Amino acid sequence: MRLIQTFGAMVLLVTLFLIFFYSTLHLEITYTHRARAEDGLKNRSLWFHNPAMTTQPSKQDIFTTPQPDVHSVSVSDGFKNTITQNDAFWNRMLYSGLLNLDKGGNPFRHDSKWSRCRETNLELLQTNVHDFSSYPVLIRDFLQGMNCRSPPVLINQPNKCISAEEEGDKQTFLLFAIKSVPGNFEQRQAVRETWAREAVNQSRPKVRTVFLLGSSPQDDPDLNSLLSFEARHFGDLLQWDFHESFLNLTLKMNAFLQWTLTNCPHVSFIFSGDDDVFVNTPGLLSYLQSLEPSKSSQLYVGHVIGTASPLRDPKSKYYIPLSFYDGPYPAYAGGGGFLFSGALLQPLYSVSHVIPFFPIDDVYTGMCFMALGVSPEAHTSFQTFDIKEQDRENLCVYKNLILTHRRSPQQLIKLWKGIHSPLLTC
């Protein structure tokens, strides 16, 4: 009898286990299918539910967004003298916003809801830009999204600059903010292995690195799984839910400023650059450490373009229609790579809500700095437009530079090993 009871109990336990296992499996499959269906809807809330996200958002993450202090911004006379008041659409927008600011109001009406920020009333745009319909598609798209400033975060690194326990509260000295696109895996890896390798030991200033990404166009291959792995493995990807395009680089820079104020507000210096530049990091750090405090707090340095005007050729990617913007550009540091002071983060973010977005990101950054009264400083070691062809294989030339532009991943690794070789004599 006891044997029969024991056998019966075992059968009951096995049956209960199988029921529990089946229920759990069924729930998991149901959840997976539901999640995939929801992904297909492309929900564009502030925290897009994407498997590439490295951390789950907390309530603080969701609701804490740095606020621009526009009423503390005093736009410089030098900026107003450079950007003339005329009938071009962007110029009219600028001076209308400045007038509203002088009256104590907000310069522009920015809808914080990403799903509602785009201008869908094409009649409004046609009324204000008489030849709007003749603009290239990318510029028309830019105009419709000019008021969109807070894209949803797809991949975040909220703890990038938080590691005080391990490092004795050692503040981040330099943050590399590297503009990339989802498919540039090889470029990012070459940069990680060379000039943007993070340094956290006590003998060197603390360096942190982030790569700035938008999302791939719908017709491109789905790279989300690869980006998810990359983000988890390296912890250096930031991605927002806007389409990658040349004219969205201004939005990318603004999103980065917002992220930095939230997650790395005490950084001393920021380097903004492309993923195809070569940087002599030891030379860069030596330069920054040599600065006087008065200069380091107002730093904006790079390869300065001092006398530039809009290109009016519709075939150029830098094309700016005359009816959109009329006038010269302010002096600005080339977007391939430039440095600025962390002390300017909040003023720069605030003034960017006073100055309307402009299609070319480095020109727009120069406008914002000029509006703050900060002039770009030219540094001959920043070679945004490359060096002489006969010098491109000379390692000693790179040893004395800070930045050169347009190098392949293989060239980055070769140059980095070369300038650090104990066999090199310059």
pLDDT score at 195:
98
Which DSSP string do the residues of 215-243 spell out, in sequence order?
A: E--TTS---HHHHHHHHHHHS-EEEEEEE
The per-type count for the chain, helices as H runs and strands as E runs, is: 16, 11
Question: Is the residue at 237 inside a domain?
Answer: yes
DSSP-derived 3-state class of residue 183 = coil
On whether both 376 and 240 belong to a single domain, the answer is yes
Cβ neighbours of residue 234 closer than 8 Å, sequence gap 6 or more: 192
Tell me which residue of 89, 84, 79, 80 sits closest to 322, measured CA to CA: 89
Under the banding of pLDDT at 50, 70 and 90, the label for residue 10 is: very low
Which pair of tokens denotes residue 70? Answer: 């526009």
The lowest-confidence range among 6-10, 99-103, 119-123 is 6-10
Average pLDDT over residues 164-180: 77
In terms of Cβ atoms closer than 10 Å to its own Cβ (0-12, 13-18, 19+), residue 183 is middle
Average pLDDT over residues 112-140: 95
Average pLDDT over residues 1-9: 42
Under the banding of pLDDT at 50, 70 and 90, the label for residue 71 is: confident
Question: Is the residue at 96 inside a domain?
Answer: no
CATH number at residue 332: 3.90.550.50
Which pair of tokens denotes residue 69? Answer: 């202090």
Average pLDDT over residues 291-307: 96
382-383, strands of its sheet edge to edge:
278-279, 403-404, 382-383
On whether both 398 and 263 belong to a single domain, the answer is yes
Kindly tell me if the per-residue pLDDT of 234 is higher than 90. yes
Question: Is the residue at 175 inside a domain?
Answer: yes
On whether both 356 and 207 belong to a single domain, the answer is yes
On whether both 163 and 31 belong to a single domain, the answer is no
Percent of the chain at pLDDT > 90 equals: 76
For the chain, the average pLDDT equals: 86
Asked if 364 contacts 146 with a C-beta cutoff of 8 angstroms, the reply is: no
pLDDT score at 170:
67
The lowest-confidence range among 16-20, 357-361, 388-392 is 16-20
Under the banding of pLDDT at 50, 70 and 90, the label for residue 18 is: very low
Higher per-residue confidence, 113 vs 272: 272
On whether both 245 and 378 belong to a single domain, the answer is yes
pLDDT score at 110:
63
Question: Is the residue at 170 inside a domain?
Answer: yes
Q: Give the torsion through C-alpha atoms of 141, 144, 149, 152, to 10 deg.
A: -70
pLDDT score at 202:
64
Kindly tell me if the per-residue pLDDT of 8 is higher than 70. no
Q: How far apart are CA 237 and CA 211, in angstroms?
A: 5
On whether both 34 and 163 belong to a single domain, the answer is no
Higher per-residue confidence, 259 vs 73: 259
Hey, how many other C-beta atoms are within 10 angstroms of the C-beta on 387? 14
pLDDT score at 65:
74
Higher per-residue confidence, 104 vs 33: 104
Greatest alpha-carbon span in the chain: 102
pLDDT digits (tens, 9 = 90+) for 313-350: 999 999 999 999 999 999 999 999 999 999 999 999 99
Which pair of tokens denotes residue 57? Answer: 């958002």
Under the banding of pLDDT at 50, 70 and 90, the label for residue 25 is: very low
Question: Is the residue at 218 inside a domain?
Answer: yes
Kindly tell me if the per-residue pLDDT of 397 is higher than 70. yes
Predicted TM-score (pTM) of the model is 0.85
Kindly tell me if the per-residue pLDDT of 34 is higher than 80. no
| Range of the structural domain that residue 22 is part of | 2-41
Kindly tell me if the per-residue pLDDT of 382 is higher than 70. yes
Question: Is the residue at 85 inside a domain?
Answer: no
What is the tally of structural domains in the chain? 2
Under the banding of pLDDT at 50, 70 and 90, the label for residue 218 is: confident
Kindly tell me if the per-residue pLDDT of 31 is higher than 80. no
On whether both 33 and 161 belong to a single domain, the answer is no
Under the banding of pLDDT at 50, 70 and 90, the label for residue 15 is: very low
Q: How far apart are CA 214 and CA 55, in angstroms?
A: 18
pLDDT score at 241:
97
pLDDT score at 163:
62
Question: Is the residue at 207 inside a domain?
Answer: yes
Higher per-residue confidence, 249 vs 104: 249
Question: Is the residue at 133 inside a domain?
Answer: no
Under the banding of pLDDT at 50, 70 and 90, the label for residue 162 is: confident
